[in-house]
Amino acid sequence: MPSYQYETLAVHAGQHPDPLTGAVNVPLYLSSTFELTGIGTDKGWDYSRAGNPTRDRLELALAALESNGRPGVKGFAFATGMAAISALLAHLHSGDHLICSHNVYGGTARLLDQIISHYGIAIQYVDMGNLDALRAAIRPNTKLIYCETPSNPLMQLTDIRAVAEIAHAHGIEVSVDNTFLSPMLQSPLELGADIVMHSTTKFLNGHSDGLGGALITTTQQQAERTLLVQKAVGATLSPLECFLILRGIKTLPLRMRQHEENGRAIAAWLATHPKVKQVNYPGLATHPQHALAVRQQKGFGSMMSIDLGSVEAARRFLAAIRIFLNAESLGGVESLASHSSTTTHAALSPERKLEMGITEGLVRLSIGIEHKDDLIADLEQALAAIG
């Protein structure tokens, strides 16, 4: 698809009318298998694990949103974000070395530490804010640098362009988890990344009603190996969830505008509140990487975390919220709050959490698209309930 603006791509990329019936919406093909036209011939599909017409459309849409018209970019949909990360890592071999940003979603660290490390792959966490530390960590067998930016839940950023330059000088691939900003607010491929990863469960779907994950690749070799993992491992996305994400994508630009407006207003308000010890939001001029956020992001989004000082303060706050829901996940139209230490990062040891900066009083906020005045009033009464 040509490089249209996001609003146009979101409605039309991969979402052209059905050639058979003219249906304006992508048909939901629930068939697990497809009639063959002969021996070794088919109409484009044979078995849904290997390829499904509804999934194909979502994969086209994902590639269009991340590629900005760059040729050769391909999308691949997986059952969850974790399945997408697993598929990314599936091409690593015993003896390979992987560098991962030290601040990542707890599930990603759990996958690396408790599963991937069993396969003889060396994993090293590096503070990507320190490019000298990154240079020093690179070994002859380093195959992949995995970044999550902004990071969950501390909103630490990785300079994608700088990391890609260092990595490419050593022939190393760079992947970026773009879940927190969506393709609307950050384009890792434009900044030099090789592969983009998404938990489509979040902003891309946007309605908290389906899981999903995606990889967006840039080379033929990456596409071939990712297709092989889809077929061979089989953690592909169900057609129903592909359909729901396609529907969600149509309003992604509209939703992201509202998320962004609310996120900025609420972060600014929280930053002045005496009960809030710290607000982690790259859109605030006080964020240590604000200049990088301005340079590499197209917006600041609606993810942030706040430190309330103690687990007791966090407990009272979460018990008092009325519009915000005390729930894991993020990126849906509804505002959510969650206690990072016992939810998204529960799998990590207390020492690792402290080393990352995840304190007992840390609460992550995913700001939805409700009216910001109602959200601020809700936060105000919940913060008052801390006592």
Ligand X SMILES: Cc1ncc(COP(=O)(O)O)c(C=O)c1O
Q: Catalytic residue positions?
A: 49, 105, 177, 202
Q: How far is the CB of 202 from ligand X (least distance, A)?
A: 7
Minimum CB separation from ligand X for residue 2, in Å? Answer: 30
Beta partners for residue 196, in sequence order: 176, 216
Name the minimum Å distance from CB 232 to ligand X. Answer: 20
- Token pair listed for 157: 């950023």
Instruction: State which residue, 208 or 217, has the beta carbon closest to ligand X.
Output: 208
Q: How far is CA 211 from CA 236, 255, 257, in A?
A: 11, 18, 23
Is 80 a binding residue for ligand X by CB under 6 A? The answer is: yes
CA distances from 104 to 34, 41, 114, 157, 275 (A): 40, 44, 15, 11, 27
Q: Which residue is nearest to ligand X (CB)?
A: 81
- For ligand X, the closer of residues 96 and 177 by Cβ is 177
Closest CA to 304 of 340, 280, 272, 337: 280
Map the footprint of ligand X across residues 246-285, applying CB under 6 A. none
User: Site for ligand X (CB under 6 A): which residue of 62, 64, 82, 214?
Assistant: 82
- Say how far apart CA 338 and CA 175 lie, in whole Å: 27
- Least distance to ligand X from the beta carbon of 275, Å? 26
**Selected range binding ligand X among 8-16, 78-86, 222-230, 234-242, rule: CB under 6 A:** 78-86
Minimum distance from residue 303 beta carbon to ligand X (Å): 9
- By beta-carbon proximity to ligand X, the closer residue of 127 and 380 is 127
CB closer to ligand X, 179 vs 305: 179
**Tokens 């690179």 sit on residue:** 138
Q: Tell me the closest approach of the beta carbon of residue 78 to ligand X, in angstroms.
A: 9
Among 75, 81, 248, 332, binds ligand X (CB under 6 A): 81
Q: Which residues contact 45 (CB under 8 A, 6 or more apart)?
A: 34, 51, 52, 53
Q: Is 122 helix (H, G, I), strand (E, B) or coil?
A: strand
| Rounded least distance, CB 213 to ligand X, Å | 5
Residue 241 binding ligand X, by CB under 6 A: no
Indicate the residue among 175 and 262 with the shorter CB distance to ligand X: 175
Q: Number of residues interacting with ligand X: please give it, by CB under 6 A.
A: 15
- Hey, which residues between 150 and 209 contact ligand X (CB under 6 A)? 152, 177, 179-180, 199, 201
Residue with smaller CB distance to ligand X, 54 or 80: 80
DSSP alpha helix (H) spans, the chain: 6-12, 53-67, 81-89, 106-114, 131-137, 160-169, 182-185, 220-233, 239-250, 252-271, 290-296, 311-320, 350-356, 372-384
Nearer to ligand X, 81 or 368 (CB): 81
Q: How far apart are CA 25 and CA 249, in angstroms?
A: 13
The site map against ligand X for 99-138 (x = CB under 6 A) is ------x-x-------------------------------
Q: Pick out residues in 305-344 that bind ligand X (CB under 6 A).
A: 344
* Cβ(192)–Cβ(174) below 8 Å: yes
What the block records as the tokens of 205 is: 């779907």
Rounded Cα distance between 72 and 223, Å, is: 9
Residue 211 touches ligand X, criterion: CB under 6 A: yes
DSSP bridge partners of 177: 148, 197
Separation between Cα atoms, residue 160 and residue 158, nearest integer Å: 6
Q: Which residues bind ligand X (CB under 6 A)?
A: 80-82, 105, 107, 148, 152, 177, 179-180, 199, 201, 211, 213, 344
